[in-house]
């Protein structure tokens, strides 16, 4: 079936008008939610903040609190730990040797293990188990009693042993 030229011309014009209207963004064929912030004038658009500027500061989030094992006597050791440690003149290695000899001469002390690289003696004294630690400081070496967590051992036995070591070695 063939259309007559008089009928095909108006039909072609109608099809052309519908396609132009559909492609030109006519309101009838547009999506209603196509409007967004970009359609607003630049002064009316919401402020865009870069992602790194709208987060809270995390500068101190990963800092660990100071523990007694990190505080050195030259930096001001805690006063509670002053009876669980003393300064000794000389290098840390010399102090380690002197403390080992002194521990062998104190009655009731059992040295379970020694670690010169760590500067520690694992001791058992009067039923208490703790470490005698030697740390190098500006004034020489610092000898102290610490518990397994690295905190000052403030029990009766550690205080008594440190006092005995201090008197044998002449520490201050």
Note whether residue 14 is domain-resident: no
Most confident of 56-60, 83-87, 124-128: 124-128
Note whether residue 61 is domain-resident: no
Q: What is the torsional sign of CA 33, 37, 42, 45?
A: positive
Note whether residue 155 is domain-resident: yes
pLDDT at 22 over 80: no
Return the closest-CA partner of residue 78 out of 28, 144, 30.
Answer: 144
For residue range 32-74, list pLDDT tens digits in order: 555 677 778 888 888 777 777 777 777 777 666 665 545 444 4
> Structural domain tally of the chain?
1
101 lies in which domain range?
80-169
Note whether residue 24 is domain-resident: no
Note whether residue 32 is domain-resident: no
Residue with token string 């609190």: 65
Give the integer Cα–Cα distance in Å for 152 and 158: 9
Mean pLDDT of 75-103: 76
Give the integer Cα–Cα distance in Å for 96 and 114: 10
pLDDT at site 31 = 55
Q: How many residues does the chain have?
A: 172
Q: What six digits make up the tokens of 130?
A: 């703790």
H helices, E strands: number in the chain: 3, 5
Give the integer Cα–Cα distance in Å for 103 and 153: 17
Note whether residue 106 is domain-resident: yes
Q: What is the CATH number of the domain that holds 96?
A: 3.30.310.170
The answer to whether 157 and 125 are in contact (CB under 8 A) is yes
pTM: 0.52
Return the closest-CA partner of residue 139 out of 101, 98, 88.
Answer: 88
Q: What is the torsional sign of CA 67, 69, 71, 77?
A: positive
């Amino acid at each position: 079936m063939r259309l007559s030229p008089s009928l095909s011309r108006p039909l072609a014009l109608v099809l052309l008008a519908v396609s132009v209207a559909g492609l030109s963004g006519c309101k009838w064929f547009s999506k209603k939610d196509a409007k967004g912030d970009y359609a607003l004038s630049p002064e009316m658009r919401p402020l865009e903040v870069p992602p790194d500027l709208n987060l809270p500061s995390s500068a101190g989030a990963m800092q660990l609190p100071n523990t007694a094992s990190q505080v050195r006597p030259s930096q001001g050791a805690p006063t509670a730990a002053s009876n669980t440690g003393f300064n000794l003149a000389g290098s840390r290695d010399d102090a380690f040797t002197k403390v080992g000899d002194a521990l062998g001469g104190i009655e009731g002390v059992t040295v379970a293990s020694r670690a010169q690289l760590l500067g520690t003696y694992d001791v058992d004294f009067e039923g208490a188990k703790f470490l005698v630690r030697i740390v190098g400081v500006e004034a020489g070496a610092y000898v102290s009693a610490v518990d397994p967590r690295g905190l000052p051992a403030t029990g009766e036995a550690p205080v008594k042993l440190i006092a005995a070591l201090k008197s044998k070695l002449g520490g201050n």
